[in-house]
Amino acid sequence: MIQFANPSFLLLFVVAAYVFFNRWRSRQRYQAAIRFPTLAKIKTIKKSPRVKNRRLIDALRLITVCLLILGIARPQSGERFEEITTEGIDIMLAVDVSGSMRAEDFKPQNRLQVAKEVVQEFVKGRKGDRIGMVAFAGRSYTQCPLTMDYGVLLTFLDKMEIGMIEDGTAVGMAIATAVNRLKDSRAKSKIIILLTDGRNNAGEIDPLTAAKLARTFGIKIYTVGVGKPGGAPMPIDDPLFGRRYVMVDNDLDEATLGKIADTSGGMYFRAKDKESLRRIYQQIDQMEKTTVEVNKYTRFDELFPYFIIPALSLLLLEIIIKNTVFRTIP
């Protein structure tokens, strides 16, 4: 990055251009003349190298003036630095990958595909936070530990799919796994965002017991229930008749999800379509903002010696040449 400390001096280029242009015009208009009967003989005389190269002085003077103008404008080369001070938030995303997430009431995609898109947008919108991810169905495990490398996190999110874990909905185990990742954190805020479309029917830990454990470690849980009220179309791949759809009842346990949120100091949300799910994550994003302070400073190196020294050298060269090679005898 290059800037000028005294940029107003660059206007001298206009003055220099005007002076040199007028000097050139005056030379063209007014030339010395000698009365002579015929110039035929004189025209045959070849110009000496001194005469041919006399304009070299003007060229040297022009370059010298340009370098001097650049020098007094004080060009500076700098590097810009940013010092970011952040009070980060540690976030664990718990995502349900059970078979019921295959339901396509969020058409044209199923619930998991929509959830992955919205979670991806949420992650890309964060800055300065550590984010991890838990996948759960019949059991739970850490898909990605807490990290600030969102690229790695999004890669793991992309690989998340239905069937990667035995079927079921272990909500309590998902919370416990996320709590285990957050309990030793020293972040100013620790939260779990749990997304599911069912009720707890697997695992050794009760959801409310897990919520109390989270509260003990100062962890808030935001629970998100997905699915339209009533039935939802579920695709079934039949080996004989191919893919067909059956209607399945929505088995979302909103009461328990609400209690989990209340117990831990969080909130419960209900998403009935893609847009409402997106708004929920945007709302959580606004509620859990990171404080980021950015201090910017720039270090400059002075470059004017690189222009002034050559300019003075060319000026000295002009004086020497003018008084030796191109010396004019009165």
Q: How many CA atoms lie within 13 A of 307 on its CB side?
A: 17
Q: Which of 286, 239, 248, 240 is nearest to 267 (CA)?
A: 286
Domain co-membership, 71 together with 9: yes
Domain co-membership, 56 together with 186: no
Label residue 53 by pLDDT band (50, 70, 90): low
Residue 107 within a domain: yes
Domain co-membership, 176 together with 308: no
CATH of the domain at 155: 3.40.50.410
Q: Which of 184, 266, 277 is nearest to 228 (CA)?
A: 277
Residue 257 within a domain: yes
- Count of structural domains, the chain: 2
Residue 198 within a domain: yes
Task: Return the ∠ at Cα 101 (arms to 165 and 266), rounded to 5°.
Answer: 95
Q: How many CA atoms lie within 13 A of 212 on its CB side?
A: 4
Reported as a single tens digit per residue, the pLDDT across 191-214 is 999 999 999 999 999 999 999 999
Domain co-membership, 318 together with 243: no
Burial class (CB in 10 A: 0-12, 13-18, 19+), 294: exposed
Domain co-membership, 74 together with 201: no
Domain co-membership, 262 together with 318: no
List, in sequence order, the alpha helices (H) in the chain. 12-29, 40-43, 49-52, 55-72, 111-124, 150-159, 171-182, 207-216, 254-264, 274-287, 305-322
CA distances from 100 to 44, 162, 232 (A): 103, 9, 10
Domain co-membership, 74 together with 93: no
Residue 248 within a domain: yes
Q: How far apart are CA 22 and CA 114, in angstroms?
A: 73
Q: State which residues form the domain around 238.
A: 89-289
Domain co-membership, 192 together with 239: yes
Reported as a single tens digit per residue, the pLDDT across 243-292 is 888 888 888 999 999 999 999 999 999 999 999 999 999 999 988 876 65
Residue 16 within a domain: yes
Reported as a single tens digit per residue, the pLDDT across 217-237 is 999 999 999 998 888 888 888
Q: Which of 174, 184, 251 is nearest to 211 (CA)?
A: 174
Residue 160 within a domain: yes
Domain co-membership, 67 together with 157: no
Domain co-membership, 223 together with 243: yes
Label residue 183 by pLDDT band (50, 70, 90): very high
Q: Which residue(s) pair with 206 in the sheet?
A: none
Residue 156 tokens read as: 């793991």
Domain co-membership, 316 together with 273: no
Q: Tally Cβ neighbours within 10 Å of residue 59.
A: 12
At 117 the pLDDT is 95
At 145 the pLDDT is 95
Residue 330 within a domain: no
Domain co-membership, 68 together with 190: no
Q: Which of 289, 288, 294 is nearest to 85 (CA)?
A: 294
Q: How far apart are CA 294 and CA 74, in angstroms?
A: 29
- Whether this model's pTM surpasses 0.85: no
CA distances from 254 to 12, 192, 267, 306 (A): 75, 17, 12, 73
Q: How far apart are CA 297 and CA 283, in angstroms?
A: 34
Residue 201 within a domain: yes
Q: 205 and 178 in contact (C-beta within 8 Å)?
A: no
